[in-house]
Structure 1
């Protein structure tokens, strides 16, 4: 029965035929001559055929042995090629990198960095899936997920890439109509745009310069299930909102949005790369290293 054959004996048999004698095969394999003979005898027993005719001076393949030897050479060559390909996958970035991140972070941060990564690693093809839902990395066969915020407990491995600040913002037109909040108590007069995907979208924790904390729960004017949609509503003048810096910094510089209550800090969020398995493949490690290098100025400012 094929499933009763010890496949390691195929390499011994091929080495024996290649060497032409038990003595030279034993030297090549680093084992005793008796052990080589024992492997051959057991292989013949497992196959139920005679592979070699042996005399005191020479050995020769039987007809079945010649056919089997040709198959062994092909099988061993295929195995060596498979091992080499696996090693290349381990040591050099190649293949398809299937990754996911949120819509807003993907468009604002990840996508701009993909071009330089792909130029640097032309053997890697990228399959990027943007979604504001927390995906199951293993079930959906992702190599990597980039997640912002606060990580949940998970069996996935995580590498910190950087961080982002949360900013309270509003459009100039909205502030002209409703007034600009100067103190935390002023927030009661304003409607907030909630990011409904968060577990507590309207629980804002402000920290003063001296370290004192105060939690505010503003009145909801509207909600949306993505940060990009919340930003759009704020730009349209429908209310105030807390949004990540990477999404609104350009709007603040351009005057489209105004940062409010700058004397307080909101909690910083982390940005992590998460992936399954104990050791990330080369393509995953390469992209993580690339992002860390690109995000270093943001992470250290």
Structure 2
């Protein structure tokens, strides 16, 4: 049996859509549908229940998927072992990260990575959406969270600390911000995630915590947009250290309430390297993990 049929079935099962897999493979959705029908004929059972609005695994399809995925992993492993024995890491590595992390922390490293591993082609997906690694065929993701849950393998890349910042011009004209409650008098720049959009949490050196409801008339969907709005003097913003440290060092942004730890969700957060749970790690993924840790973990 053609193993590509099995891979297409697994991709469709995870994506829940012929169209999504067709876009990933740059083919017509009807081609994916025909190949799935061919697989069902070969297996002798209906694997997918199709309606005009949804696509779901049948009981037989669920059992079949659980059987073939370990086999596909083993085939990939065997291929990678053969390649590792014959040559340097190679193939396409699909990497995803947030827009801000990708632009600020990943892009500046791409030239060095390419020189170090010329056989690896990079396909970088920078988005603030939480990408389904299996459905989108992602090899490695960088996720920002207190912890990573689910059936994924995760290793910490770098701790993240949040800062409240504003431009010197804004602070010269606005009411002073000397304690957390002073933010009530300001139109803050907001990020459309729970917590960040409505309340900021503070913890002092003694461990006492306070939550301040924040309001504002600008909701911006990326960290880079929030940073640029703060630079333009549009209000205080809550942003990760790696987004604003360069501007703070240059004096273009000023840190506020530095005696407090501050967050919109959890105080202890990090950027994590995340990849699908497998019994092996392809060489191209392993070298990228090692490369990012070497360049960013101590940053």
Normalised by the length of structure 1, the TM-score is 0.68
Alignment correspondent of 2:289: 288
Alignment correspondent of 1:200: 195
* Cα distance in 2, alignment partners of residues 84 and 178 from structure 1: 63
Alignment partner of 1:143 is 2:139: yes
> 1:297 aligns to what SS in structure 2?
coil
Alignment partner of 1:247 is 2:243: yes
Contact 2:175/2:185 (CA < 8 Å) preserved in 1?
Answer: no
Alignment correspondent of 2:272: 272
- Inter-CA distance 89–217: structure 2 relative to 1 (3 Å threshold): farther
> Which structure is larger by alpha-carbon Rg, 1 or 2?
1
Alignment partner of 1:227 is 2:223: yes
* Cα distance in 2, alignment partners of residues 260 and 180 from structure 1: 10
Alignment partner of 1:213 is 2:214: no
Normalised by the length of structure 2, the TM-score is 0.68
CA offset at residue 227 of structure 1? 0.9
- Inter-CA distance 114–88: structure 2 relative to 1 (3 Å threshold): farther
CA offset at residue 88 of structure 1? 3.4
Alignment partner of 1:191 is 2:192: no
**Which blocks of at least 5 consecutive residues in structure 1 are unaligned?**
1-81
Greater CA drift, 115-124 or 85-94: 85-94
Alignment correspondent of 2:113: 117
CA offset at residue 138 of structure 1? 0.6
CA offset at residue 281 of structure 1? 1.1
Alignment partner of 1:88 is 2:82: yes
CA offset at residue 188 of structure 1? 1.1
Deviations along 1:31-86, one digit per CA (max 9) or x if unpaired, are xxxxxxxxxxxxxxxxxxxxxxxxxxxxxxxxxxxxxxxxxxxxxxxxxxx99854
* Cα distance in 1, alignment partners of residues 185 and 274 from structure 2: 40
Deviations along 1:10-29, one digit per CA (max 9) or x if unpaired, are xxxxxxxxxxxxxxxxxxxx
**Which runs of 4 or more aligned residues in structure 1 lie more than 2 Å from their structure 2 counterparts after TM superposition?**
82-86, 88-92, 149-153
**Which blocks of at least 5 consecutive residues in structure 2 are unaligned?**
1-75
Alignment correspondent of 1:107: 103
How many residues were matched structurally?
A: 216
Contact 1:192/1:218 (CA < 8 Å) preserved in 2?
Answer: yes
> 1:162 aligns to what SS in structure 2?
strand
> 2:298 aligns to what SS in structure 1?
helix
